[in-house]
A and B are shown apart, each in its own frame.
Chain A
């Protein structure tokens, strides 16, 4: 099956810093989503981005499908950005998402 690798596994930032999270996948995909899991376990959908670039406030994401990677950019990080960021992909219509192991982000004030 498709493999999903996220890097780095852990990231520690000072408030206000910028960061880039990476997601590599082993096969072509028709679905790619970025999630933020908060301390209560809720998965917050950040982006649905099987290809191209999107921006939402301080967050943006780019997926280069031909090179099988996606990047999540967080600018001017805040303490509320702390948590685990997951990349998840699907490579067939109607199938489940396969999750990477996540990047744990800690932002301190």
Chain B
């Protein structure tokens, strides 16, 4: 089946550091990837939609200059949290959908737990 790999799975870093998270589709091409954020005991909230070769679309309230998204190929999207602060600590998870097939399930990575000290 379709596999989405997310790396790293866990990051602890100091306030002010920038952190890059990778999301890869291992065995299929993904024209679209999605980035979600989940705070403790809450649901997943969409942050942005990442389209290969074009600028990401951000949800209302998500700072595009803080959460930089790059989708340079059909198998890789990256999320960079710039100048991270403790309030950015969260669980970040990506998903991808198969290229050019409309009604197909989305496949999720295992998530990245980010802790900013």
Interface string of A7-25 (1 = CB under 8 A from B): 0000000000000000000
Bound-state CA distance A11–B27 (Å) is 37
Given contacts A41-B111, A43-B108, A45-B107, A102 and B43 within 8 Å (CB-CB): yes
Q: B111 touching A30 by the CB < 8 A rule? A: no
Q: Which residues of chain B in 84-114 are interfacial with respect to chain A, using CB atoms and an 8 Å cutoff?
A: 91, 93, 95, 97, 102-108, 110-111, 113
**Interface size bracket, A side:** 20 to 34
Given contacts A41-B111, A42-B110, A42-B111, A48 and B105 within 8 Å (CB-CB): yes
Chain B nearest Cβ from A67, distance in angstroms: 20
- Chain B residue with the shortest CB-CB distance to A42: B110
Interface residue tally for chain B (C-beta within 8 Å):
24
Q: A94 touching B32 by the CB < 8 A rule? A: yes
Given contacts A41-B91, A41-B111, A42-B111, A93 and B43 within 8 Å (CB-CB): no
Q: Is the interface of A mostly helix, strand, loop or mixed?
A: loop
Contact of A64 with B by CB under 8 A: no
Bound-state CA distance A93–B104 (Å) is 9
Given contacts A43-B93, A102-B43, A93 and B103 within 8 Å (CB-CB): yes
Give the A-binding residues of B (Cβ under 8 A).
32, 34, 36, 38, 42-46, 49, 91, 93, 95, 97, 102-108, 110-111, 113
